Amino acid sequence: MAVFAIALLCAAWSSSTDTARASTNFVKTSGTAFMLDGRPFYVTGVNNHYLTFGSRREVLSVLDDAVALGANVVRTFLQPVIGSLDGSRATIWAWRSSSDASNLGVGGTYLLYWDHVAGAMAINDGPDGMAKVDFLLAESAKRNLKLIIAFLDFWDYTGGSQQMRAWYGSTDKAGFFFDDPRPKADYRRWVAHVVGRVNSLTGMTYRDDPTIMAWELMNEGNAVPETLRLAWSAEMSAYVKSLDPNHLVGSGHAGAIDRMSDLAVQSLDFGTWHGYPLYYKLSVRQFDRTISEFCEVGARAGKPVLLEEFGYARSNPDAADAYALWLDTLSRGPDCAGWVVWRLVSRQDSGNYPTDLHDQFDVRNDGSPIWEALRTAAARKRSTASDDHPPSTTREAR
């Protein structure tokens, strides 16, 4: 009996030790810095939009190229969202497109859809659904990459919140999803399903997986008016935290026009902004000054700030120099928490890089000056990380 009791005590001690050890692997915040295992965690990251629907080979290519770049974080969105499988609820985007993955050919993948029998949202947990997210998490963990995952995209490129409001016959792109109780209930159900999902490959529940750096409520959730966006962000971020106390939560909002007004939401752990000089009609130098201004906004709020999307056309002759300048400014800024470039793409199943004739923001592992500027910046930050000193107080995800 005594031996059995001792065995129970040992098992309990071992379990608590394992839990404590695992908990240190979650990214936290301390003032304007991210922290990992008690040390500053400066983000050198990449965005990719097709990781939840690309082929396994395409996903692995992106993750391997992220490692080659020196990235420590990959950001993506949970998508696609479609209408009903029987067509009674229309899919509002080109779900059947035969384009490559980068150009939104999803190969039949869908995560959310309208169940015409139940008359309600349904979730696809199969191999052409959430199992693809399982694969992404498992492979990212093998490469020591952290993920920032947005629960949804605002835009209709692969459905997003626009498809979900279309389920209910709404044409209001900016208000309905965030205000009507039906899509709000759908969103909460989706969040609960995701954070409570058990990965079919690792056996780990998503809420317990330290591979995830942070959840984001939505990519560029442009609710109008601003009061509605802030109210929705406060409600849903608190809801996420009630289900998952382990992970950080961000809004995923572009944040540039409103200068990250959602930093005031207590249940959001960090600020995000998306910066494209072309769209804001800023010169390279003007954008560089903007970077410092946004880091200062974060300092006043006492939270980390991520430049989590930015891009500059490859055809610009000064492109590599521009990236080098901006990344240096971010690296030197004491209140800048890191960067996530838009966007890393890798060779498609065709063996070719995707075409990018519109904005030319694609970053490729091609040895180009732009690639080298990003790789050098990431390597330089890794080499100086040991000189960083953690701030005095740590704000846990809560």
Q: Three-class SS string for 81-97? A: EEEECCCCCCCCCCCCC
From start to end of the chain, where are the E strands?
28-30, 33-36, 39-40, 43-47, 73-77, 81-84, 112-115, 120-123, 146-150, 212-216, 248-250, 271-275, 305-310, 338-341
Q: Strand 212-216 to strand 146-150: parallel, antiparallel, or no bridges (unpaired)? A: parallel
What is the pLDDT at residue 24?
A: 56
The candidate with the shortest Cα–Cα distance to 106, out of 133, 136, 79, is: 79
CA distance 108 to 85: 11
Q: What is the DSSP string of 245-298?
A: SSSEEE-----TTTTSGGGG-TT--SEEEEE-HHHHT--HHHHHHHHHHHHHHH
According to CATH, what is the number of the domain 44-387? Answer: 3.20.20.80
What is the pLDDT at residue 364?
A: 97
Sequence-ordered list of residues with C-beta below 8 angstroms from that of 95, at least 6 positions apart, any chain? 80, 82, 106, 110, 159
Alpha-carbon dihedral angle through residues 316, 312, 293, 305, given to the nearest 10 degrees: -160
Q: Which regions in the chain score pLDDT beneath 50? A: 1-23, 386, 388-398
Given a contact cutoff of 8 angstroms between Cβ atoms, the answer to whether 44 and 338 are in contact is yes
Q: Angle at which helices 284-301 and 319-332 pack, to 10 degrees?
A: 20
What is the pLDDT at residue 2?
A: 36
What is the pLDDT at residue 356?
A: 85
Given a contact cutoff of 8 angstroms between Cβ atoms, the answer to whether 271 and 306 are in contact is yes
What is the pLDDT at residue 92?
A: 98
What is the pLDDT at residue 357?
A: 74
Given a contact cutoff of 8 angstroms between Cβ atoms, the answer to whether 221 and 155 are in contact is no
What is the pLDDT at residue 104?
A: 96
**What are the Cα distances from residue 193, in Å, to 83, 84, 210, 257, 268?**
19, 20, 18, 33, 20
CA distance 208 to 215: 13
pTM, entire model? 0.91
The domain segmentation of the chain, as residue ranges, is: 44-387
